[in-house]
Amino acid sequence: MSPEADHWTERVRQTLRRYEPGLLRQVAGNLCRPRNQWPVDELIERSIGILTNPAVLDRRLKELEPASRRLLAMIAHSRQNVWRIGSLVELTMATGAGDGLAAVMSLLDAGLLYPGLPDLDGARKTARLKSFEQWLTVGETGSTWAFAHPVVCARALGGDLGLPDCPGASGPPSGVKGQAIHEADGLEWPLRLSALWQQVSTTSLRQTQQGDFFKRDLERLRGDPLLAAVPGDGPSAVPDPGMLAAALAVRIGLLKQLDGELKAGGFPEAWYKGLPAALLGLWSALPHLDTWNTDAGHQPGGAPGNPFPSAYLLCLLLLGKLLEQGWADPEQVAAWVRSNHPYWKSAATCENSDVDPPSAALARFLTGLAYSLRMVQAIKSETGWLIRLSPHGRWLLGMGDMGDAPPATPQFAQTLLVQPNLEILAYRQGLTPDLIVKLSQFAAWKTLGAACTLQLQPESVYRALEAGESFETIVQVLEGRGMKATPTAVLEALRTWSNKRDRIQVYPSASLMEFASAGDLQEALSRGLPAVRLTDRLAVVANEEDIDFRHFRMAGTRDYCLPPEPCVTVEADGVTLNIDQLRSDLLLETELQRFAESVPHSGSNGKLQYRLTPSSLAAARQAGTSLENLAIWYMQRCGQEVPPAVYLLLAGADAPSPRLERHMVLSVATPVLADGLLQWPETRRLIHARLGPTALSVAEDNVEPLRERLRGLGIEAATTSPQR
pLDDT, tens only, 422-467: 999 999 999 999 999 999 999 999 999 889 999 999 999 998 988 8
Q: Which amino acid type is present at position 56? A: V
| Helix (H/G/I), strand (E/B), else coil: 365 | helix
Domain identity same for 208 and 355: yes
Domain termination site, one of 615, 634, 654: 654
Count Cα neighbours of 420 within 13 Å in the Cβ-side half-sphere: 2
The residue count for the chain: 724
Angstrom distance (rounded) from CA 378 to CA 544: 68
Contact predicate 265/256, CB 8 Å: yes
Domain identity same for 142 and 220: no
Q: Considering the domain boundaries, does residue 267 fall inside one?
A: yes
Domain identity same for 669 and 582: no
Domain identity same for 220 and 341: yes
Nearby residues of 508 by Cβ (< 8 Å), 6 or more positions away: none
Angstrom distance (rounded) from CA 276 to CA 221: 27
**What local confidence, expressed as pLDDT, does residue 501 receive?**
66
Q: Considering the domain boundaries, does residue 402 fall inside one?
A: no
Tell me 123's DSSP state. G
Please name which of 477, 509, 79, 491 lies closest in space to residue 287, comparing C-alpha atoms.
79
Domain identity same for 589 and 538: no
Domain identity same for 590 and 672: no
Q: Considering the domain boundaries, does residue 404 fall inside one?
A: no
Angstrom distance (rounded) from CA 326 to CA 167: 11
Nearby residues of 35 by Cβ (< 8 Å), 6 or more positions away: none
Domain identity same for 484 and 344: no
Angstrom distance (rounded) from CA 706 to CA 698: 9
Domain termination site, one of 625, 654, 683: 654
Spans in the chain with pLDDT lower than 70: 1-3, 120-126, 139-143, 174-179, 232-233, 301-304, 346-357, 400-404, 501-505, 554-556, 558, 560, 601-607, 721-724
Domain identity same for 675 and 648: no
Q: What is each CA distance from 662 to 116, 686, 700, 701, 702, in whole angstroms? A: 92, 15, 7, 10, 12
**What local confidence, expressed as pLDDT, does residue 354 receive?**
47
Domain identity same for 301 and 191: yes
Q: Considering the domain boundaries, does residue 407 fall inside one?
A: no
Q: Considering the domain boundaries, does residue 465 fall inside one?
A: yes
Domain termination site, one of 611, 636, 654: 654
Count Cα neighbours of 708 within 13 Å in the Cβ-side half-sphere: 6
Angstrom distance (rounded) from CA 330 to CA 385: 8
Domain identity same for 34 and 120: yes
Helical H runs in 229-346?
Answer: 241-251, 275-285, 308-319, 330-340
- Using only C-alpha atoms, the chain has a radius of gyration, in whole angstroms, of 40
**What local confidence, expressed as pLDDT, does residue 493 receive?**
93
Q: Considering the domain boundaries, does residue 216 fall inside one?
A: yes
Tell me 606's DSSP state. S
**What local confidence, expressed as pLDDT, does residue 355 receive?**
41
Question: Listing from the earlier edge strand, what are the strands of the sheet with 82-84?
Answer: 82-84, 145-147, 114-115
**What local confidence, expressed as pLDDT, does residue 142 receive?**
53
Please name which of 588, 508, 511 lies closest in space to residue 552, comparing C-alpha atoms.
511
* Strand partners for 327: 170
Domain identity same for 297 and 365: yes
Residue 453 backbone dihedrals phi, psi, to 5 degrees: -120, 140
Angstrom distance (rounded) from CA 667 to CA 694: 6
Contact predicate 373/283, CB 8 Å: yes
Helix (H) / strand (E) containing 256: strand 255-258
Contact predicate 577/610, CB 8 Å: yes
**What local confidence, expressed as pLDDT, does residue 23 receive?**
93
Residue 337 structural domain: 179-396
Helical H runs in 602-660?
Answer: 614-622, 627-637, 644-651
Nearby residues of 120 by Cβ (< 8 Å), 6 or more positions away: 127
Nearby residues of 325 by Cβ (< 8 Å), 6 or more positions away: 171, 172
Q: Considering the domain boundaries, does residue 555 fall inside one?
A: no
Angstrom distance (rounded) from CA 217 to CA 46: 52
Q: Considering the domain boundaries, does residue 561 fall inside one?
A: no
Q: Which amino acid type is present at position 610? A: Y
**What local confidence, expressed as pLDDT, does residue 320 receive?**
92
Number of domains the chain contains: 6
**What local confidence, expressed as pLDDT, does residue 605 receive?**
55
Domain identity same for 642 and 680: no
